[in-house]
Amino acid sequence: MSPNKRSAPFITADYLSSVDEIAAYLNAAIETGDEGVLLAALGNVVKAGQGMTALSRASGLSRESLYRALSEDGNPRLSSLLAVLNTMGLRLSVEPSDSAPA
Tell me the per-residue pLDDT of 10-50, one tens digit each, with 9 for 90 and over: 888 788 888 899 999 999 999 998 888 888 888 888 888 77
Name which of 83, 84, 74 is nearest 49 in CA terms: 84
Say if 101 falls within a structural domain. Answer: no
What's the average model confidence in pLDDT over 53-66? 90
Number of folded domains that form the chain: 1
Residue-number span of the structural domain to which 43 is assigned: 13-87
Say if 98 falls within a structural domain. Answer: no
Query: Can you give the length of the chain in residues?
Result: 102
Cα–Cα distance for residue pair 98/73, rounded to 1 Å: 28
For the chain, the C-alpha Rg in angstroms (whole number) is: 16
Say if 7 falls within a structural domain. Answer: no
Is the distance from CB of 52 to CB of 83 less than 8 angstroms? Answer: no
Cα–Cα distance for residue pair 97/89, rounded to 1 Å: 24
